[in-house]
Amino acid sequence: MRESTTSAPRARRAAHGPAAAAAALVLTLTACSGGSTDTGEGTGGEADGAAPDGELTVFAAASLTDVFEEIAASFEKENPQVEVTLNFAGSSELAQQIDSGAPADVFAAANTDTMDQVVAGEGLDADWAAENGEDGRIFATNNLRIAVPPDNPADVESLDDLAEDDVDVAFCSKEVPCGSATVTALEAADLDITPVTLEEDVRAVLTKVELGEVDAGLVYATDVISAGDRVRGLDFPESEEAINDYPIGVLSASGAPDLAAAWVDFVTTEGAPVLRDAGFGTP
């Protein structure tokens, strides 16, 4: 678990991977047991216009790290009595944590298949789902880009170039959404590429490229934008065959469902410009 350097009031941020997830569970147990006054309506789900308060735990796909940190800072600024804990990892890893009983209020996945896994297991809050859909609400879309180091040492210009024997490539594991999208894109291009490494989430692939440990990696368009001048992003036509829909939903085990619903509404309204600026598509 790492503390954010953002100026958000009391916002806590989670890092990636199993160790971070374990730490997140300790913190989220505290968060969910702390309770919140989340009755009625309004920005934070409070009655009679009262300011919302409480603690909220959000499990979110690694590709949402930058935007959700920014959105959480804005949410806490508007609601000073609310504390948001964010746990980022690959969507499939988060789904497994949720289905194993990890306490969380909201899940935001990088594809619909992973959300379906949670819906079939833990499930979404019945009242929220009745109004928003049993499979969650689609709030963003994303697609793939080829990321290469700024000097592009392997002269990669297309997806076909990744199949060259002297090009070292990093992909996401097929179990996570970016890996599933990669498989779809390669099938569309009729390519069989063996990467030198398979990573647990898209940010790990991006890091490999940033550090020059590989010649190229398949990441999301949003990751290329977030990396700035640390990588170059290359479009390729087959990415249009592998667009990911991002669903979000309030979990049935949430101890603060009204506050969680307020967060989801905030993400899909005030958060929409942040998502678009980061390169996501929005409904």
Helices 65-78 and 257-268 pack at an angle, to 10 degrees, of 110
In angstroms, the Cα distances linking 61 to 49, 80, 109, 230, 259 are 32, 25, 5, 22, 20
Extended beta strands in the chain, E state: 2-3, 12-13, 54-61, 82-89, 106-108, 137-142, 144-148, 169-172, 197-199, 216-220, 232-234, 244-250
Rounded distance between C-alpha atoms, residue 124 and residue 140, angstroms:
19
Which pLDDT does position 134 carry in this prediction?
Answer: 93
Distance CA 241, CA 186 (A): 10
Residues in the chain: 283
Cα 24 to Cα 283: distance, rounded to the nearest angstrom: 31
Instruction: State residue 49's pLDDT score.
Output: 52
Q: What is the helix (H) or strand (E) element at residue 186, kind and residue range?
A: helix 177-189
Q: CA-to-CA distance for 103 and 107, rounded, in angstroms?
A: 11
pLDDT value for 50 = 57
Domains and CATH numbers, the chain: 2-141+245-277 (3.40.190.10), 144-241 (3.40.190.10)
227: left (phi over 0), alpha (psi -120 to 50) or beta: alpha
DSSP β-bridge partners for residue 217: 147, 170
Query: Rounded CA gap, 80 and 71, in Å?
Result: 14
Residue 222: which H helix or E strand, with range?
A: helix 221-227
Q: Residue 18 burial (CB < 10 Å; 0-12/13-18/19+)? A: exposed
Predicted local confidence at residue 21, as pLDDT: 37
Whether the model pTM is above 0.85: no
Please tell me whether residue 207 adopts helix, strand or coil conformation.
Answer: helix
pLDDT tens per residue, the chain (283 residues)?
222 223 333 334 443 343 343 333 333 333 333 333 333 333 444 444 555 689 999 999 999 999 999 999 999 999 999 999 999 999 999 999 999 999 999 999 999 999 999 999 989 999 999 999 999 999 999 999 999 999 999 999 999 999 999 999 999 999 999 999 999 999 999 999 999 999 999 999 999 999 999 999 999 999 999 999 999 999 999 999 999 999 999 999 999 999 999 999 999 999 999 999 999 999 9
Calpha distance 9→74 (Å, rounded): 9
- Tell me what pLDDT residue 262 has: 96
